[in-house]
Structure 1
Amino acid sequence: HRTADQTVAFLEKLAAHQPTGDVYVIWDNLNTHYDGPDKRWTQFNERHGKRFHFVHTPIPASWLNQVEIFFSIVDKRVLRHADFADIAAAKRRLLGYIDLWSRELAHPFRWTWRYVRPEDRVRRAA
């Protein structure tokens, strides 16, 4: 969900579907995932008995990039333009693709960024 309003609407549905117990929401660093001047998440949590726990991933979360790359691949090859008869059909299709990926398609992703120690940056600039 790209807008705060869409995210609030989604979490309202989640709260209705899961009316009791703690709910942990793992946020990336999208700007709408922060409270903002209107305190949207604080107010949301107060409306729902303070049972939502919002956890932010670290800003330099390169490990998360790998997951996002894989989710993007699954979205393009399995989910986009798909029309499933029911949840079981979607589950079969997703698990089938993950099995195919694991057996035949998986490969290391080529990373273009590499860490340079701060002291090496100074030497290189000199």
Structure 2
Amino acid sequence: MISADEKSQLQALRRRHPSRPAGPGQISQVEFEYKRGGTLAYMGAYDVHRGRLIGTIAAKTGIVPFMDLVEKVMTTEPYASARTVYWVVDNGSSHNGQRSVDRMAQAWPTARLVHLPIHASWLNQIEIVFSIIQRKVIKPADFADLNALADRLLRFQDRYNESATPFDWRFTTADLTAMLERVGAAAQEGVAA
């Protein structure tokens, strides 16, 4: 199962002065003045069972860049020989509606596009990966140009795949019951105080 989406409007901001890393007793320092170097999009596909990230860089999001990502994944093993590959996506403009389901089925008969409910993109595990990318690759933004930003994204992807494991992403009814009991107990303590 592939969890896919795009991370758009990634800016290549070049800081006026170099950032200084944190040291003993000193926080990191990041220059607030910058020069804009353009934007790009990272198209990401995350194999939820293998913990593997496959991505492409595009000038902008859209149907063509999304289908380029699909092609990259579907021509790579084990997906190329799989009987069925499920693609979990949100309702973004590059892959929403029945036309996107039909387009995917026509281009890749073994691929099945599955849309999450509207306003539930947080259920898509690629969003967890994008959060990691935001913290470890994008922030603080200091890139000479778009090529430097693209290079850092792709190098991170390779490094991520060397050590990543699938997310242990479970929340059972027993977990919910225990959480509600803790919240209820805390609320009772607050009322009694």
Per the normalisation by structure 1, the TM-score is: 0.51
Question: How far did 1:10 drift?
Answer: 1.0
Cα distance in 1 for residues equivalent to 2:157 and 2:65: 24
- Alignment of 1:54 with 2:124, yes or no, is no
The aligned length equals 91
**RMSD after superposition:** 3.6
1:73 aligned to which of 131, 137, 141: 131
- Alignment of 1:32 with 2:121, yes or no, is no
Question: How far did 1:86 drift?
Answer: 8.4
- Alignment of 1:23 with 2:81, yes or no, is no
Cα distance in 2 for residues equivalent to 1:60 and 1:85: 29
Give secondary structure in 2 for the equivalent of 1:79.
helix
Query: Equivalent residue for 1:107?
Result: none
- Over 3 Å counting, the alpha-carbon distance change for 1:11 and 1:33 in structure 2 is same
Query: Bigger CA drift: 13-22 or 59-68?
Result: 59-68
Measured against aligned partners, the alpha-carbon deviations of 1:99-122 in whole angstroms (never above 9, x if no partner) come to xxxxxxxxxxxxxxxxxxxxxxxx
Q: Which has the higher contact order (CA 8 A, sep 6+)?
A: 2
- Over 3 Å counting, the alpha-carbon distance change for 1:6 and 1:86 in structure 2 is closer
Q: Can you give the 5+ residue segments of structure 1 that lack an aligned partner in the other structure?
A: 99-126
Per the normalisation by structure 2, the TM-score is: 0.36
Query: Equivalent residue for 2:67?
Result: 8
- Over 3 Å counting, the alpha-carbon distance change for 1:60 and 1:86 in structure 2 is closer
Give secondary structure in 2 for the equivalent of 1:24.
strand
- Alignment of 1:90 with 2:151, yes or no, is no
Q: Can you give the 5+ residue segments of structure 2 that lack an aligned partner in the other structure?
A: 1-5, 7-60, 139-148, 168-193
2:102 aligned to which of 42, 56, 69: 42
Contact 1:25–1:53 (CA under 8 A) maintained in structure 2: yes
Measured against aligned partners, the alpha-carbon deviations of 1:34-59 in whole angstroms (never above 9, x if no partner) come to 357xx4542442343x2111110011
Contact 1:22–1:53 (CA under 8 A) maintained in structure 2: yes
Question: How far did 1:28 drift?
Answer: 0.2
Q: Percent identity?
A: 21
Measured against aligned partners, the alpha-carbon deviations of 1:10-67 in whole angstroms (never above 9, x if no partner) come to 111222112222110001010221357xx4542442343x211111001132753897
Question: Would you tell me which structure has more strand in proportion to its own residues?
Answer: 2
Cα distance in 2 for residues equivalent to 1:42 and 1:78: 36
